A and B are shown apart, each in its own frame.
Chain A
Amino acid sequence: MSTEASAQTARPSFLSAILRNPLAGVFIALLAIFVISCLISPYFLTSYNMSVIARGLAFVGIMTIAQSALMILGELDLSLGTIGGLSGVISGMLMVQAGVDPWISIVLALVLGLLLGLLNGFLVTALGLHSLVLTIGMAGVYGGAILVLTKGVAITGIPASIHFLGRGDAFGVPVPFIVMVVVLLIALFLTLKTPMGRYMYAIGNNAAAARMLGIRVNRIRLMIFALAGMLSALAGVLMVARLGTAQPSIGQAWVLAPIAAAVIGGVATTGGVGSPLGGIFGAAIIAIIENIIVLFGVSPYWQGVVSGVIVVLAISFDALSRRYIRRDSH
């Protein structure tokens, strides 16, 4: 019996192996939306439009990677958007008002994001608070700090030497998009190939069992909160570079969109499953939908409704296809 048990069953065919992959559903949905967009609008598949989409996707994409990592752990951080905004604003103040070298300002802003994320993680682990509730409060604190520092006025005069980080292209690809891809590759290596990544999934599945196995659960939580804070700061300073001003409103759109993108991409809010790549697929779906709505000249009043309906259709498609695949894999 034991030999029969360990015997591998016949390798599934390449196609069914791809279909079994949990990312298959969202990837097919992404492809479908892409193809439909190409068919219904002649302006969609142009190099200019593609670069617009890629540049827009980059910011939400980086935030989605940060939020996905926390969601895999079974946590959520609703203050990431304001951490990005606050770090961006402070980098602008350092560059413009304090005359600090722009590159050093960026590094300091990233360190600030790391520390703010770490603070969130510390409050969650040391006090045993629920991350969702805690970070709603912290979002108020960080968002308030932005207004206190800026009095609601944008900081203009960001040195032109760093504008390329947000506006520039390298090899015809927007620089922020390249940054996002690098972040994604690092995140994929971390989640797929390192013990730390395995521990993240284990903690998200069953934190008590992870502790019993000798995994330092709280240490990993702290690290991921800190990394997520740093990534948010990265998105923040890239946005400052893109706008050429440090706007107090940076980050306001980065609260719910990354969570929606991650969920569309198969990262469960309950933890333990999903991949940052799925989150990026989800973010791309949202980015294309928002783009096509603009291309079609949908009234701005209707844009929210239309994009919401298409997102719901996309996740329904994913859920249905998953059910179909599961029919034979139970």
Chain B
Amino acid sequence: MAYLEARGLGRDFPGVTALNGVDLSVELGRTHILAGENGAGKSTLVRILTGTDRASRGDLLIDGKDPLTDPALFRTIAYVPQELSLFPDVTVAENLFMPFARSGHAGLVNRKKMEAEAQIYLDRFGIRARPSDLVRHIPVPDQQLLQIARASTNKEMKVLILDEPTSALTASEVDRVFRVIRDFLASGHAIVFISHKMEEVFGIGDDYTVLRNGEKVDAGRIADIDEPALIRAMSGRDVRIDEHFRPASAVSDVIMQVDGLTGQGFADASFTLRRGEILGFAGLVGAGRSELMQTIFGFRRAKSGQVTVEGKAWKLNDPAASVQAGMLYLSEERKHHGIFPLLSLRENIGLSVLSLTSGKAGINAGRERGIVAKVIEDYGIRAAGQGQKIATLSGGNQQKAIIGRAMATTPRILVFDEPTKGIDIRTKAEIYRIMKTLAEEGVGIILISSEMTELRRCASRIITMHSGTITGDYDAATTNSETLVGAIFGSDMPAAAVNAAAGTSSDAETPHVH
């Protein structure tokens, strides 16, 4: 008897059926992979399973009972969202045990007891922090681990739902998460695991359920399916991720020249961006790649150094001037730097093309609707209509809207910062194709990515960074992964660690499916 059982679940929103006839059966002691592209209905299903949303149709049983008549049952389902949702100005220990009643810390706050118990969790998950540290001050990968640890402090937990838990983690940290997952399984818990990374799915999964367009299209045991079949089930057709998406055009003149730029988080950075190439930036989370690009863009203050674009001095510290001069930066933090959550899809996209849509009589609504419709069409954004609030779209569709919005302005230099974080394979391929086409059309493309596979597939040239310094500049076609990973970790890194990291981050991920 499955612990968590859903039969014929459906959820309707005006204009869209987000879920229809979905069955799911999660057994204790096993890892259940929930697979599907962005917008397939995974998040809607998770919201129903955790009790934050209600199904329009169908039955949900937890431990054989209906949680709608006994809502306490929902407390046995713990959920770790993909985006960080910790309290940044509260200590690690308090973050771990909130809400206190559920973790055995009810009553007056006893800091000593709490911090002693927190240390056990920190050791178990290998989190590099003290219980008394503020979450704001600990590194992002540790925050992600802390988020998983927090879910597990819930003493009533039976099922743990992990939504892309490894997006900010390196290979060795992923191993740590997997060890913890195996401990949970051994102690009789069930794991629901959502990931777009195939090596993780096949590394940890026991059972799987595939959703597509809100419907269950396949389910079974992981042992009975292989990668191509799983991807085919998710996308509904054969997706071919080509060996590479490197631009085929000849590399010509210099678009941007950066000389000795220093800012917060990086120092003395010099490099050139040439027409016709995709310039990749490799490094660990926190190596200073985003900070460097945001400083060139003007979002952060430059301390010294200069930038030249097409022979002319580039104005620093003024993002509005950068946008006017044709540079755009697509942040990896969609939520904080990308979307305007309370505005509609139309307003979100329309914001960047107001110069095209407005005249003396104000904004021409018809013209705006036309441009937005074209972006929606060109980038395959799935939405109920232009008026839908962007916050209610899936992550992948939000990302496509942000990219589409940028394209509508015909930029000259475009920085993609982790553009495929949390994005399904087919959308990934679409984004790669967009970057390639743009580079071939002469737009300067910079790609920051923590996925070595992605860089090797797309970039013509790869610059490596380690703790704020550029450590190398490699031709992507002729350099092997080991060299790149060595440069990412800094030269003093022990070889074993380098190999461990290279093991999962090289070409392991599903290059071709026929």
Contacts and interface: CB of A to CB of B under 8 A. Distances in A.
Contact of B347 (A2, A6, A201): A201
Nearest to A195: B354
A161 interface: no
Nearest to A274: B342
B319 A211 contact: yes
Contact of A272 (B337, B343, B354): B343
B347 A198 contact: yes
Contact of A328 (B14, B213, B324, B342): B14
Contacts of B376: 5-6
Contacts of A127: none
A330 B14 contact: yes
Interface stretch (A164-172, A202-210, A293-301): A202-210
Given A9-B384, A189-B362, A195-B354, A214 B320 contact: yes
Contacts of A193: 358, 361-363
Contacts of A202: 340, 343, 347, 351
Interface string B279-321: 0000000000000000001010000000000000000000110
B380 A212 contact: no
B394 to A, nearest CB: 12
A214 B362 CA distance: 20
A209 B350 contact: no
Interface in A272-330: 272-273, 328-330
Interface string A258-269: 000000000000
Nearest to B236: A1
A46 interface: no
A63 B430 CA distance: 50
Nearest to B361: A193
Contacts of B322: 214
B354 A198 contact: yes
B25 interface: no
B338 interface: yes
Interface in A181-224: 189, 192-195, 198-199, 201-202, 205-206, 208-216
A13 interface: no
B339 A329 contact: no
B337 to A, nearest CB: 5
Interface of A: 1-6, 8-9, 12, 189, 192-195, 198-199, 201-202, 205-206, 208-216, 272-273, 328-330
Given A2-B377, A189-B362, A211-B299, 6 more contacts: A6-B373, A9-B14, A212-B337, A213-B351, A213-B352, A328-B14
Interface of B: 13-15, 213, 297, 299, 319-320, 322-324, 329, 331, 336-343, 347, 350-352, 354-355, 358, 361-363, 373, 376-377, 379-385, 392
